C-alpha cells in the first residue's frame, strides 16, 4: 500500500505520549449521550489544528471534519463519544472523575484513535489523494446519534461518501484486529412496559390487582419465548433488565414497569419476539384482571450491523499485509449492537467495522487456558473494563490509517 510507511512514520514517541495523555484525559471526563460537549470540543479543536474544515453541533453534539486533498474517493472514519452510567471500579490513576459515569465501552479509546489517525493522514497528505472525513458521533449507547447526524444534514458537508470505516475496542488480545464480512452485530430493541393494577392495603389483597405479581408472571413467561418460539438454529436473546414498583412495604402499588431488551440477527425472529412480548404481556394482564391494558414504549432500536463483503475483503487484505496474518483474526458475530451502520445505509455506500483488541495478551491467554475469561477479563460495559493504552492506542491509529489508505492511496 503506497504511502503508509511515510504516514505512520510520524507516530513517534512524542506523538504516542501526547495521544496517551489525551486518552487518559478523555477517560477521566466521561459525558453521557448528547451531552458530550467537552469531548466534542476537544475533537473539533484537534481537527482544526490538523487543517480540517470542521462543523460542530451536528445532530446535537456531533462533529465532522473534512480534509479535501485532490481528486479521489471520500472515506469516512467514525468514532463514538458517549459514556455509560456506570460507577468505575478499575482503580486506575486516571479513573473517571464524574461519579456514576464511565467510559466502560471504550469510546474514549475510539476518539483518541481517530484524533491520531486524522493528524497523521493530514501530515501525510503528499501520500494520498481524495477526501478524508472524520466523524465524532454522539449518543451511540442509545442508538440515536448516527441518525441524528444524518438527519441534521451531515452529507451536505461531506458530499457523497465512498465508504465508511469504524472500529471498536474489545476484550480480546491487544495488537490484534478482528474482522469478517457479513453480519457481525445483532439488531437490538429496548422497551418499557407499564402495567396497571389497583392499589390498596397489603392486608387486603382481595381488594387489589397487584402489579408486582403481574410483573413477576410476565417475567417468568417471557423466559420461554426464545426457548419455545424461536428455532434452535436461530440466535436470539430476551432480557428483562428492570422492574420498578411501589414505595412502601405495606402498600400494594397501582402500577409497575418493566424494561426489556431483545437481540436478534434475523428480521423474522425480531418480529416473532416483538409479537410474542405483546401477546404475553396483554394476556397476563387480562388474566390478572388488570383495570386497563398495558402500555408499550420503545426506548431505542439498533439496526443489524453487517460488513460489505467486497469492502471488507479489501480492508482484510490491507490489514494482513500491514500487520501480518497472525495479528488479523476472525470476528465471530456478537449479540452486541451498534448504530455505526446507519451512516453507510443512509449514504448508500459500503461500510466496514472491525474489532480492536485491548487486553494484555498474556492475561487473556492465561484466563482462556484456565477457563476464566468471564471472571478475569472484564468486558465492555463492566465497571472494571480498562483497555491497555499501549499497544491498543497506536494499533487503533494504525488500523484506521490502513483502512483509509486502502481507498485513498489508490
What is the per-residue pLDDT across 316-358, written as a single tens digit (0 to 9) for each?
A: 999 999 999 999 999 999 999 999 999 999 999 999 999 999 9
Q: In this predicted model, what pLDDT tens digit does every residue of 59-97 receive, in sequence order?
A: 999 999 999 999 999 999 999 999 999 999 999 999 999
Domain check: are 253 and 169 in the same one?
A: no
Parent domain of 371:
4-184+305-408
Domain check: are 169 and 194 in the same one?
A: no
Domain check: are 104 and 168 in the same one?
A: yes
Q: Is 82 part of the annotated catalytic residue set?
A: yes
- With a CB cutoff of 8 Å and minimum separation 6, the contacts of 54 are 44, 47, 48, 63, 64, 65, 66
Q: What mean pLDDT is predicted for residues 379-403?
A: 97
Domain check: are 168 and 259 in the same one?
A: no
Q: In this predicted model, what pLDDT tens digit does every residue of 87-123 receive, in sequence order?
A: 999 999 999 999 899 999 999 999 999 999 999 999 9
**Of the residues 36, 82, 108, 308, which is catalytic?**
82
Distance CA 142, CA 365 (A): 33
Q: What percent of the chain has pLDDT over 90?
A: 99
pLDDT of residue 3: 87
Helix axes 13-28, 37-49, angle to 10 degrees: 160
Q: In this predicted model, what pLDDT tens digit does every residue of 1-56 receive, in sequence order?
A: 678 999 999 999 999 999 999 999 999 999 999 999 999 999 999 999 999 999 99
Domain check: are 330 and 361 in the same one?
A: yes
Domain check: are 173 and 56 in the same one?
A: yes
Residue 18, all three cell numbers:
501526547
Domain check: are 152 and 59 in the same one?
A: yes
- With a CB cutoff of 8 Å and minimum separation 6, the contacts of 14 are none
Buried b / exposed e along 300-320 (16+ C-beta atoms within 10 A): bbbbbbbbbeebbebbbebbe
pLDDT tier, 155 (very low <50, low <70, confident <90, very high otherwise): very high
Closest by CA to 185, choosing from 202, 200, 166, is 166
Residue 158, all three cell numbers:
461531506
Q: Which residues pair with 166 in a beta bridge?
A: 78, 353
pLDDT of residue 410: 62
To the nearest whole number, what is the mean pLDDT of the chain?
97
Residue 247, all three cell numbers:
414505595
Domain check: are 170 and 283 in the same one?
A: no
84 three-class SS: strand
Write down which residue in 279, 302, 325 finishes a domain. Answer: 302
- Specify whether the CB–CB gap between 4 and 322 falls below 8 A: yes
Domain check: are 229 and 346 in the same one?
A: no
Write down which residue in 302, 333, 355 finishes a domain. Answer: 302
Q: What mean pLDDT is predicted for residues 224-251?
A: 96
pLDDT of residue 31: 98
Domain check: are 142 and 209 in the same one?
A: no
pLDDT tier, 409 (very low <50, low <70, confident <90, very high otherwise): confident
Q: Are strands 182-185 and 305-307 parallel, antiparallel or unpaired?
A: antiparallel
pTM across the whole model: 0.92
The CATH number given to whatever domain includes residue 100 is 3.40.630.10
Closest by CA to 265, choosing from 187, 362, 148, is 187
Distance CA 353, CA 296 (A): 33
pLDDT at 236 over 90: yes
State whether the Cα torsion 39-42-48-52 is positive or negative. Answer: negative
Domain check: are 194 and 71 in the same one?
A: no
- Specify whether the CB–CB gap between 103 and 389 falls below 8 A: no
Domain check: are 249 and 394 in the same one?
A: no
Which 8-state DSSP code applies to residue 249?
T
pLDDT tier, 162 (very low <50, low <70, confident <90, very high otherwise): very high
**Of the residues 108, 140, 141, 338, which is catalytic?**
140
67 three-class SS: strand
Write down which residue in 282, 302, 322 finishes a domain. Answer: 302
CA dihedral 20, 395, 390, 86 (to 10 degrees): 70
Q: What share of the chain is helix, strand, coil (3-state, %, to 5)?
A: 40, 25, 35
Provide the domain count of the chain.
Answer: 2
pLDDT at 190 over 70: yes
119 three-class SS: helix
194 three-class SS: strand
69 three-class SS: strand
- Specify whether the CB–CB gap between 106 and 387 falls below 8 A: yes
Closest by CA to 81, choosing from 59, 58, 103, 54, is 103
The CATH number given to whatever domain includes residue 225 is 3.30.70.360
Q: What mean pLDDT is predicted for residues 377-403?
A: 97
Q: CA-CA distances (angstroms) from residue 221 to 29, 228, 234?
A: 42, 11, 20
Q: What mean pLDDT is predicted for residues 115-143?
A: 97
Amino acid at each position: 500500500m503506497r504511502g503508509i510507511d511515510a504516514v505512520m512514520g510520524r507516530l513517534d514517541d512524542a506523538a504516542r505520549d501526547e495521544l496517551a495523555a489525551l486518552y487518559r484525559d478523555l477517560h477521566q471526563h466521561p459525558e453521557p449521550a448528547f451531552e458530550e460537549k467537552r469531548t466534542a470540543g476537544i475533537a473539533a479543536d484537534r481537527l482544526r489544528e490538523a487543517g480540517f474544515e470542521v462543523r460542530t453541533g451536528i445532530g446535537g453534539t456531533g462533529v465532522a471534519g473534512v480534509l479535501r486533498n485532490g481528486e479521489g474517493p471520500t472515506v469516512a472514519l467514525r468514532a463514538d463519544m458517549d459514556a455509560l452510567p456506570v460507577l468505575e471500579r478499575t482503580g486506575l490513576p486516571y479513573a473517571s472523575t464524574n461519579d456514576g459515569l464511565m467510559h466502560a465501552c471504550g469510546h474514549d479509546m475510539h476518539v483518541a484513535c481517530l484524533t491520531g489517525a486524522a493528524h497523521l493522514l493530514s501530515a501525510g497528505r503528499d501520500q494520498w489523494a481524495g477526501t478524508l472525513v472524520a466523524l465524532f458521533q454522539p449518543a451511540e449507547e442509545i442508538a440515536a446519534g448516527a441518525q441524528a447526524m444524518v438527519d441534521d444534514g451531515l452529507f451536505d458537508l461531506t458530499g457523497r461518501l465512498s465508504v465508511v470505516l469504524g472500529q471498536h475496542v474489545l476484550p480480546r488480545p491487544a495488537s490484534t484486529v478482528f474482522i469478517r464480512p457479513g453480519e457481525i452485530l445483532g439488531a437490538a430493541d429496548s422497551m418499557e412496559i407499564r402495567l396497571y393494577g389497583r392499589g390498596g392495603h397489603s392486608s387486603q389483597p382481595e381488594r387489589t390487582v397487584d402489579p408486582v405479581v403481574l410483573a413477576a408472571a410476565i417475567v417468568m413467561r417471557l423466559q420461554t419465548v426464545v426457548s419455545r418460539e424461536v428455532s434452535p438454529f436461530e440466535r436470539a436473546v430476551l432480557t428483562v433488565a428492570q422492574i420498578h414498583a411501589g414505595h412502601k412495604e405495606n402498600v400494594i402499588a397501582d402500577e409497575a414497569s418493566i424494561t426489556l431488551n431483545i437481540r436478534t440477527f434475523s428480521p423474522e425472529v425480531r418480529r416473532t419476539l416483538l409479537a410474542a412480548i405483546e401477546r404475553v404481556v396483554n394476556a397476563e394482564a387480562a388474566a390478572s384482571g388488570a383495570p386497563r391494558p398495558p402500555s408499550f414504549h420503545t426506548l431505542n432500536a439498533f439496526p443489524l450491523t453487517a460488513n460489505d463483503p467486497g469492502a471488507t475483503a479489501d480492508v482484510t487484505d490491507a490489514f494482513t499485509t500491514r500487520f501480518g496474518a497472525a495479528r488479523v483474526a476472525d470476528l465471530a458475530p456478537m449479540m452486541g449492537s451498534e448504530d455505526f451502520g446507519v451512516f453507510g445505509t443512509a449514504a448508500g455506500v459500503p461500510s466496514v467495522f472491525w474489532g480492536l483488541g485491548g487486553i494484555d495478551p498474556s492475561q487473556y491467554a492465561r484466563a482462556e487456558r484456565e477457563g476464566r475469561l468471564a471472571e478475569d477479563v472484564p468486558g465492555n460495559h463492566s465497571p472494571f473494563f480498562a483497555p491497555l493504552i499501549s499497544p491498543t492506542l497506536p494499533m487503533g491509529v494504525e488500523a484506521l490509517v490502513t483502512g483509509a489508505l486502502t481507498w485513498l492511496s489508490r
